[in-house]
Chain A
Amino acid sequence: SAVISQKPSRDICQRGTSLTIQCQVDSQVTMMFWYRQQPGQSLTLIATANQGSEATYESGFVIDKFPISRPNLTFSTLTVSNMSPEDSSIYLCSVEEGRDTEAFFGQGTRLTVV
């Protein structure tokens, strides 16, 4: 199974600022995803991080707010831009090695916006 490392593991940020979260995988993977988990709730898919092209965003999420990079098959970043307290959540990176296969998750980044 893939080992996923996320940085930072947690942060407290001022509103109006931006935070970039890094996701590093110990092996090359086909698919990488970013999810949001609001306090006490389930996970919601933000976007699919595509290697070498623009990310594919789910309904309700836009590139200006959540720009994503994926320069290679082992690394991706998610930026939470112009943050507000409503952005306080856990952000999770996930990888799949193929379609309809088990998805592995990082430990998440717990973001608090004050």
Chain B
Amino acid sequence: EAQVTQNPRYLITVTGKKLTVTCSQNMNHEYMSWYRQDPGLGLRQIYYSMNVEVTDKGDVPEGYKVSRKEKRNFPLILESPSPNQTSLYFCATRDTWTYEQYFGPGTRLTVT
């Protein structure tokens, strides 16, 4: 079964404590992406990766890092989280030449 998994699903943390949200897909897709969703602001793209070792900024990359060392995984790293990064985060993947994206279940992050 085609799957995009994210961990953790829920996380409450404190300002400044580094955290990583993992994303994994089993569809052998080259493209992966991270979004955040906030009330009234919709889905906004943070970073995307076109292939292993290739990443690029989306619309709201400040305060985030990503890495793509293998095709199936695309972790999102918050080196020093702040309360304005409290949000619902989604990882997505798609085949390169189509816009048919598959999203993970989401990670709800609260930074106090």
| A complexed with B | no
